[in-house]
Chains A and B, each alone.
Chain A
Amino acid sequence: MTWETVIGLETHVELATRSKIFCPCTTQFGGQPNTHCCPVCAGLPGALPVLNEKVLEFAVKAGLALNCQIARYSAFDRKNYFYPDLPKAYQISQLYLPIARDGRVELHTSGGDSAVRIHEIHMEEDAGKLVHDPWIDQTRADYNRCGVPLIEIVTEPDFRTADQVIAYLEKLKETLQYLGVSDCKMQEGSLRCDVNLSVRPLGSDELGTRTEMKNLNSFKAIARAIAYEAGRQIRLLGAGGQVAQETRRWDEDREVTCPMRSKEEARDYRYFPEPDLPPVRLGEDYVAALRAARPELAAEKRARYQADYGLSPYDCRMITSDPALARLFEALVELGAPAKQGANWIMGEVLAALSARGMEPGDMKLPPAALTRIIALVEEGRINRNTGVQVFEAVFDGDGDVDAYVREHGLEQVGDTGLVAAAVERALAAHPRSVADFQAGREKALGFLVGQVMRELKGRADPKLVNDLLRRALGVPGAGKAVEKPPQL
């Protein structure tokens, strides 16, 4: 029998607000345990929650970008459960009247184009962190994360392949990042995804019994977990068995899923409307204003960069891989840098400098004007590219004047051909052995001689000019044009 895999996703996204969803405590990551808490998020009796207006704005922006209907009337509900990760014994969420419904995301994969329907988006609060201590047989609770704002984006079971799931998540991540709604860092847990998966005979309209997978911390883990779980269910059904509806945990090391706990029925949460929070009514003007304020998203930027600057699709993907890189690129172009040069520096030196420092593009302090100036100096031949990289390293961390640095370190390129020619003569006279080696056909010897000349001129000569002058002095025919092979003597 041929089986079809049916997948739906529930994605939790942490919103990039400064304060929590219902109280003014900071949302900052880390911090000493229980130092970002107040009577509201610690669930002390009598404390009243008040909705953060930025959470509402971000949820509506996300809903609009995912082509949802924005609810003009929405409200919060209590999801009741006893587990010490939330001290109130309930989570404030939205069940009956979520902020957005009925969205749609278009996907493009190697398997073709498809679309995924968004069932709903709701606002809710995050829970705290528990540490289970086997020595004292107790659980230690840190409530700093309690009340950090989340949106949960629930899709319809419209995915058929892992590729579609990854394409959706990439698009979601990119969209939310460009909207400025979330930083979507999977490793820090600001984008978390649960995968609901079932299988059925191809052609069937009925849904099979599904399992829910948790603990998926990377796109790679998601793809592997989908392949494993679909295979497990198919083998089970093929052998005449049944799939149990349950939550399963992905074990990254063993690359298998294991049951976590039998899935509680929705009514076990005994949802009811949250009496402490009045409903939210949105006017047409509020929604229209947010719709109009939507920034240019990554896909639109890629299309524009290709059309306006003639950049390759690959270059466009690289420089839009993070909103901060796209901002830098646009600033460089605006300041007059040639687009292709700007893209090359971002893909090369900027990404290398970030990764060497373990930094995110968003934390970059490099002033766009400094990089524009470096690009201009290289273009004008005032410094060579290697020197450009040296200057770049010096100014990358935020301060330093490019021109002053070049002047103070005497880095300006020697433009005087006579000066370079004299250095070439001296190098040849000082290293007859290398000259003989080169003439015997050893191309490597030329590299050594170039190095000697560059060293004498403190790296400030144009390496191409040094190369040409050396070849000419060594009697290479046609020197000055590119010579690919050493002469045969």
Chain B
Amino acid sequence: MEPINAWLVDELARLSRLSLPEEERRAMTAQLKRIVDYMDILGRLDTAGIEPLSHEAPVGNVLRPDVVEPSLDRGELLANAPAQDGEMFLTPRSVE
């Protein structure tokens, strides 16, 4: 596991499209460090023979039949978009 440092916090902020003022960045670094340290404590537990858990609720196999139902009216769908042209959602130009 990579140690939590200023570089990693900046990188996570970049990937999450967050801009952190210096003060928050310092606070975030300390908090993330505490979280990871706690994970290290958990990591010391002997988990041999214990099934991995990927979900906290004791449910599984929630499935729906393959049946088509009406979609949203387009006007309604686009209504909350910050920018749209009546047909499509508009976003700042993004090119790979």
Contacts and interface: CB of A to CB of B under 8 A. Distances in A.
A52 B64 contact: yes
A140 B90 contact: yes
Interface of B: 12, 15, 17, 54-57, 59-69, 71-72, 74, 77-78, 80, 83, 85, 87-96
Interface stretch (A29-37, A116-124, A426-434): A29-37
A18 B66 contact: yes
- Give the secondary structure class of A's interface: loop
B69 A24 contact: yes
A10 B89 CA distance: 30
Which among B72, B89, B92 has the highest number of chain A CB atoms within 10 Å? B89
A275 B87 CA distance: 32
B55 A34 contact: no
A139 B91 CA distance: 5
A29 to B, nearest CB: 14
A33 B88 contact: yes
A32 B72 contact: no
A132 interface: yes
A130 B88 CA distance: 9
Contact of B89 (A39, A51, A87, A96): A87
A25 interface: yes
A366 B59 CA distance: 48
Interface of A: 17-19, 24-26, 32-39, 42, 44, 50-56, 75, 80, 82-84, 87, 96-97, 130-134, 136-143, 260-261, 268, 270, 273, 275, 277-281
Most buried by A among B12, B57, B96: B96
Nearest to B89: A141
B89 A275 contact: no
A334 B37 CA distance: 71
The 9 closest A-B pairs by CB, nearest first: A54-B66, A24-B69, A140-B88, A53-B63, A75-B54, A141-B89, A84-B91, A278-B59, A50-B64
Contacts of B12: 270
13 contacts: A18-B67, A25-B71, A33-B88, A34-B74, A35-B71, A53-B63, A54-B65, A132-B95, A138-B93, A140-B88, A268-B15, A270-B12, A278-B62
Nearest to A75: B54
A37 B55 contact: no
Given A19-B67, A50-B63, A37 B91 contact: no
Contact of B66 (A17, A137, A140): A17
